[in-house]
Structures are given as structure tokens and as C-alpha cells.
Structure 1
Amino acid sequence: MADGRDGKKVDPKLLELLACPLTKGPLAWDPERGELISRVAKIAYPVRDGIPIMLPSEARTLSVEDVLAPPPPRLGGPG
């Protein structure tokens, strides 16, 4: 299971089912920050107590450094 920032676990099967609510595109898990990344929308959704908060109002806008960094592993489906 993936770790959240607070040490809680996130169910990998749940992560595979999630999509960005804005773009409907794939999300990538960033275990270092405990966030789900939508590279298309350039935002990161927080995961609190193992629960993804999929509200655009709660999402963090990715910085230039975040956008230029190598992407975290993509979730779900064949690679």
C-alpha cells in the first residue's frame, strides 16, 4: 500500500480507480509529498488520513520545479 504524508496507507486499488476531476485524466502518486498529481491540470490533490481529497479547491498548484521534475509513477493500467 502507498504511504500518505501522515503515515497512513492508501489502497492501491482505490488509486487505480481515481481520475482527475478536472481533466478526467490519469493521476500519479507522489509518496514523498503524499499527493495525487495531475500533470495535465498542473495540480496536486492531498491525501489526508489515507483519503484522497479530490476537490479542486483543496488542490495545490504545481510549481515550475514540480512540473519540470521527473514524473512520479503513473497509477493503474498497463504501462
Structure 2
Amino acid sequence: MKTEGYRRTLHGAIDGHHFQITVTSEEDDVFDFSATVDGSQVEVPHQGAILNKGDAMQLALVAIERHIEALGRTG
């Protein structure tokens, strides 16, 4: 399946915090993602090549959940 140019965005909320995930593919069968919570970029450690869009989505959700947990500890 040709995935070059793939882009999908998901919006949602967790514990009152609004998030956005964008999964993209700039080259065939290699995916990347970005995530924001309440408009702020979520820092994501480099994961290496992500070969499945579902994996990209799951990694983004984990990063968002950790970010929201950290907000609760500092807020």
C-alpha cells in the first residue's frame, strides 16, 4: 500500500485536557506523529522507524497520557 503523503488528525479530550494527534507519512511505509495537549507541543523521545500507522497512533497516545500525568504533578 502506498502511504507517501498520508496525513490523519485525531482530536479528543482526557481528564479535561484537549489533545490533537497528527500521523503522517513522508515516504512509503514509514510513519511519524506529532501531538499537542491544550495547544502545547508534547515532547516525544525518538522511537526509530515506525512502520505501522496504528503504532504511531498508540505511541502518540502514550506520550499524551504521560504529558497529562506530568501536568497533574506540577499543577
Task: Give the TM-score of the pair, scaled to structure 2.
Answer: 0.32
Between 1 and 2, higher relative CO (CA 8 Å, sep ≥ 6) is seen in: 1
Report the TM-score, using the length of structure 1 for normalisation.
0.31
